[in-house]
Amino acid sequence: MNINETHCLQLLRTADPDRYLSVLYAPEEKRGALAALYAFNTEIARIRDLIREPLPGEVRLQWWRDLVNGTEHGAASANPVAAALLEAIERFDLPRDAFDRYCEARIFDFYDDPMPSRNDLEGYCGETASAMIQLASLILDAGRAREFSTGAGHAGVAQATAGLLRLLPIHRSRRQVYIPVDILSAVGCKPEELIDGSNLPAARRAISAMVALAEEHFSKYQAAAGQMPASLRPAYLPARLTPVHLRQIKRMGERVMSEVAELSPLARHWTMLKASLR
């Protein structure tokens, strides 16, 4: 692992412990590229924390889009994540259009418009979390990765939906609503009521509906992944934590609106160890 890839791995250690741990289960020669891919995801995900208005966020996002598509930005080596990502794209011939669609979906993060529908949510999760799984699979075993693209789609939606529930307190503080409006309407909750907590019974129903959505997609992933080779398992390990996260969310009840649902390091390690051996 070169110095840029090592930087990426250390970034993940604190910013994305689920994916950090999954990298350690990958073959040594693939870890640097996986760390670069996931560090790119981390850099994009935290743009919202660095901006006050949407336009600067879109400018930062465009920098990454141009970088991946080959537009000159000066020396990419000045940014270790960018340098490591470009090396991974070249080495493993990763599809650049997947990164472009990923960035296009992430524009939603910079605005406070509520997620319109379940279909929109599934599309958002598919272009972000599912894309990360598919790209990681191409790094691990390009020959088999495409056979399990359907499983990657469902695993990513399940993983991302659980992640959005875990981060509900942060999103509420920003006045962001990722629970789709059609789901909120079905349970009698308005977006503003979710944000201000003025209709807790309806908010609990909305959270339960999101849990059910994540469980549905995880079940479909499991059905599609029965013959998955061991070579692809590390790409799916973060998603394999989804049922554990969902159980934690259920135990917390309405506290999930004000407290980020966190797993203990022991639970995270034990779940990944079991998943890696199956």
Is residue 194 within 8 Å of residue 177, measured between CB atoms? yes
Is residue 76 within 8 Å of residue 86, measured between CB atoms? yes
Is residue 81 within 8 Å of residue 36, measured between CB atoms? yes
35-72 pLDDT, tens digit each: 999 999 999 999 999 988 999 999 999 999 999 998 75
pLDDT at residue 76 greater than cutoff 70: no
CA gap 68, 100 in Å, rounded: 8
Helices within 167-264 (DSSP H only): 168-174, 181-186, 191-196, 200-224, 233-240, 242-252
Q: Tell me the percentage of the chain whose pLDDT exceeds 90.
A: 87
pLDDT at residue 111 greater than cutoff 70: yes
CA gap 11, 81 in Å, rounded: 9
Q: What is the average pLDDT value for the chain, to the nearest integer?
A: 94
Is residue 54 within 8 Å of residue 92, measured between CB atoms? no
Could you give the 3-state DSSP secondary structure of residue 228? coil
pLDDT at residue 135 greater than cutoff 70: yes
- Ordered DSSP codes for 34-74: HHHHHHHHHHHHTHHHH-SSHHHHHHHHHHHHHHHTT---S
Q: Tell me the percentage of the chain whose pLDDT exceeds 70.
A: 97
What are the backbone dihedrals phi and psi of residue 225, each rounded to the nearest 5 degrees, phi first? -105, 15
Nearest to 92 by CA among 134, 148, 40, 60: 134
pLDDT at residue 265 greater than cutoff 80: yes
- Tokens representing 121 are 């949510």
What domains, with CATH codes, occur in the chain? 1-93 (no CATH), 112-278 (1.10.600.10)
Q: What pLDDT, on a 0 to 100 scale, did the predictor assign at position 30?
A: 98
Q: What pLDDT, on a 0 to 100 scale, did the predictor assign at position 217?
A: 98
Q: What pLDDT, on a 0 to 100 scale, did the predictor assign at position 110?
A: 96
Is residue 190 within 8 Å of residue 180, measured between CB atoms? no
Q: What pLDDT, on a 0 to 100 scale, did the predictor assign at position 77?
A: 63
> CB-based burial of residue 163 (10 Å sphere; 0-12 exposed, 13-18 middle, 19+ buried)?
buried
214-253 pLDDT, tens digit each: 999 999 999 988 889 999 999 999 999 999 999 999 999 8
Mean pLDDT calculated for residue range 189-203: 96
Structure confidence at residue 92 as a pLDDT band (50, 70, 90): very high
Nearest to 189 by CA among 164, 165, 206, 172: 206
Q: What pLDDT, on a 0 to 100 scale, did the predictor assign at position 72?
A: 59
CA gap 201, 75 in Å, rounded: 53
User: Helix 96-106 vs helix 28-45: angle between axes, to the nearest 10 degrees?
Assistant: 30
Q: What pLDDT, on a 0 to 100 scale, did the predictor assign at position 74?
A: 58
Q: What is the DSSP letter of 128?
A: I
159-178 pLDDT, tens digit each: 999 999 999 999 999 999 99
Q: What pLDDT, on a 0 to 100 scale, did the predictor assign at position 73?
A: 58
Mean pLDDT calculated for residue range 118-143: 98
